[in-house]
Every structure is written in C-alpha cells, then in structure tokens.
Structure 1
C-alpha cells in the first residue's frame, strides 16, 4: 500500500465552525511513519500492534476471526512480524521525550519476545499490567480472560496516581472494531502518564480508541494505521468529539 498522509486535522489547521480539531491521522507503515517524527517529540506512546502470535492462534482456531479489513486479503489484519519489533522499538525510543512512558498491548508470548528488545534499545521495563476483560474469551487449553500491557519508561517519570493497581478490570468491547480496546481502559493509562494539553501518539491506532480517550481527557492525539478503513473509522469517530 502506498504511504500517504491522511491529514484530517492537525491541531489548529482544520476548523469546524469555531473549534479546531486536536488530532492528526496518518495512513502509513508504522515504522516508516515513526521515522518522519522528530527526536524527543512525543509525550506518551500507547499502541496495540497486530502481533505475530495472533495469526498462529487463528490458524488453530483458538481466537476469534475478525472482520474483513482492507489491510489484508483474509479475515485478519496484516500481521506485524516479530522480526520488525527491534526497528519499531528503536524508533519509539528515539521519538519519545526524555522522562516519558510507553505502553504496549500484547499477549504472553509476544511479551517474552518484546521485553529484552525494548531493554536493549534503552527502555526501563517496570512490569506487565494485566487487563482483566471480566468475561471469558476464546481459547484452547485455558480460555483467555486477560491481556498484558507492557509498561516501559524512558528516563524517569512518576505516575500521577500511585494507588492504581496493576490489574485493571474493564469490560472488553463486544462486537466492536477488530481487537478494539475500551476507551475507559486507555483513559486510565493516559491519566497515569500524561498531563492535559500533552500529545498522545499511537502508530497502530485501529478504530481510534486511544484518540477518543485522549480527547476526552483534553489531550491532543496523533495516530497512524496501515489500513485506510481504520483511518476513516477513526476520523468519523473523533470528529464527533
């Protein structure tokens, strides 16, 4: 797919009535997009890549088949292969400001793979946060009810609320966009690791839940996705805000 910017509104450049839209969306490969960003320019990164193990589980029927997506020829996303994580994490570390946080959604298999790579490029790994979806999902041996959110730090930044637990109980989105994350869950992470007016970035934004959470909390949002359909869904969702 050719790489192109989908400029739906960069902060004060797109007006609707008297109000500016505090977001900007791009339609590019995630790593290529990150390479366009300046060093030390991002306040907070939260993302959920379509990690390789999802495809493995799909092939043996242990996870839900997703809707058709223009990013793939079958009923699944175009997978982001493990071999590309080092390049991705190098770029994420480069663009994040000193004293900032990075959250990565993944399963247990991807967590074991990603953690040492992230540490090798400079991140401090704090812990896996557990997202308890509160309802049982698909599975083979023990059916899934949780997902990991790997919590990394560049430099040193305090969390805004030290009483927040490392198990976050938020119901999963039922019949939403493929692998859609609940806005309430993302609001917890954004509240913990940013301040009002700062900008939240997501290189695999999907349906834009991170963006909606950011706007709800008076942050700005810059998102990217390889799928044109995802950009359109996110645009329609965020412009309503």
Structure 2
C-alpha cells in the first residue's frame, strides 16, 4: 500500500498517462457542507460541540479538473467508480461525459439502516459507474443494488470494506493498480490489498492518515 498527503488533483497530475487500472473514490463533495449546516450531518465534525472538521470540502467547480486527471491516468478499457449523493450525481455525470467517460448507471448502496434527515430519511448512497473504453465486469449477475450495513468506526464517511471488494473484484485483476485520490477512512485501499491489488491512495486530510494508520495497526 502506498499513500500520499497532497491535494487530489495536484497528486493525480504527477501520475503517468494510462498508468492506473481502476479508480474508486468518495470525494468530500460540496453538498455535505450544506447538510452539515442544517444539522443533518453533525457527525462530520470531530465532536458535536466542536467546529473542527474531519476533512475539507472539495468544491463542485474543481470536478472538471479532477475528472480530466482521472481519465488521463486510467488505462484504456478500465472502470471508474465515484460515491456521491443525489445532488452531486447530476453535477458529476455531464462533466465526466464531457472529459470522455461513458456513463453506465448509478449503482445503489443500500445501507440497511436509515440515516438522519427529515423527508423520506435516506438509507442509500449512489455509486456512479463509468467506463473508459470497454471492459467486461467479472460477474454479470451482480445486481445494481448492493446491500452492506453502514460502518461506524469513528470516521464519518467510512464505507464497508466488503462493498469496496465487490467493486474492485468486478473491475480489476490480481496485482493491478487501484487508486483512490480521496482515501478518507482507507476502506478502498484495504479492500484492494485484501484482493491482491496494488493499492495507491492520496488524501490531504491529516485525520484520514491518522485513521488509516490506526486501522492498519489494529489489523
């Protein structure tokens, strides 16, 4: 596992063209800040009484630069998965298509338990599924709703390792390079390592690095 601490776009710009086999990531998208302000995601703070944040928001106006870099570093005939909410999905899709990706569909992550909120409280999250070139999934019988219980280990946006293993297993082979430019809790990197992939990630947040260090020390 290789990890770096830098701005995601800046870091991606240092990688060679067509050098990555798969990108799976969960950017700290802008709408999280809106929900934090109205009180539905107070867990994004270090504590309820604290103004400190686990991570800085990645603004919507930087997504084109990000997606251009992801498209550039991915090899031909590869996949790209991006976690987001229903608002960010409509922002990401046209930008990704503009830079060259083919959009297949939003995959739904069913978290089993409902979250905080007001109107029809959410129990799911979207995973946008993109393709560069043409690559077959490993298991064509896998549904587009993936059910894995949400994780509560301290990091607010942590994803279940088993969920990431499903995506990585579908879209990469042994020893291939899997990249996450916003590794956050580190679940993508752990999942990739578990499957025998070369896991490479970046996150500008010191909290993310500390959390991943604790996870790897515990295992």
Alignment TM class, shorter chain as reference: over 0.9
2:44 counterpart SS class: coil
For the residues of structure 2 that align with 1:134 and 1:54, how far apart are their CA atoms?
A: 21
Q: Which has the higher contact order (CA 8 A, sep 6+)?
A: 2
For the residues of structure 1 that align with 2:53 and 2:23, how far apart are their CA atoms?
A: 28
Please, which of 59, 78, 85 is the counterpart of residue 100 of structure 1?
Answer: 78
Q: Unaligned 5+ residue runs, structure 2?
A: none
- TM superposition shift of 1:174: 2.1
List per-residue Cα deviations over 1:180-208 (Å, max 9, x = no partner).
Answer: 00001000000000011111100000121
- TM superposition shift of 1:231: 1.7
TM-score by length of 2: 0.94
Please, which of 27, 32, 49 is the counterpart of residue 54 of structure 1?
Answer: 32
Matched, 1:232 2:218: no
For the residues of structure 1 that align with 2:200 and 2:139, how far apart are their CA atoms?
A: 25
Please, which of 137, 145, 154 is the counterpart of residue 176 of structure 1?
Answer: 154
**1:64–1:138 contact (8 Å) kept in structure 2:** no
List per-residue Cα deviations over 1:116-173 (Å, max 9, x = no partner).
Answer: 0000000000000000000010112111100000000000000000000000000000
Which is worse superposed, 107-116 or 176-185? 176-185
**1:89–1:121 contact (8 Å) kept in structure 2:** yes
List per-residue Cα deviations over 1:214-236 (Å, max 9, x = no partner).
Answer: 11111110010011231232234
1:65 counterpart SS class: helix
How many residues in Structure 1 have an aligned counterpart in Structure 2?
217
For the residues of structure 1 that align with 2:154 and 2:30, how far apart are their CA atoms?
A: 21
- TM superposition shift of 1:66: 2.1
TM-score by length of 1: 0.86
Q: Quick check: which one's helix share is greater? A: 2
- Give the aligned partner of residue 123 of structure 1: 101
2:207 counterpart SS class: helix
Runs of 4+ in 1 over 6 A off after TM superposition: none
For the residues of structure 1 that align with 2:174 and 2:197, how far apart are their CA atoms?
A: 5
For the residues of structure 1 that align with 2:101 and 2:217, how far apart are their CA atoms?
A: 34
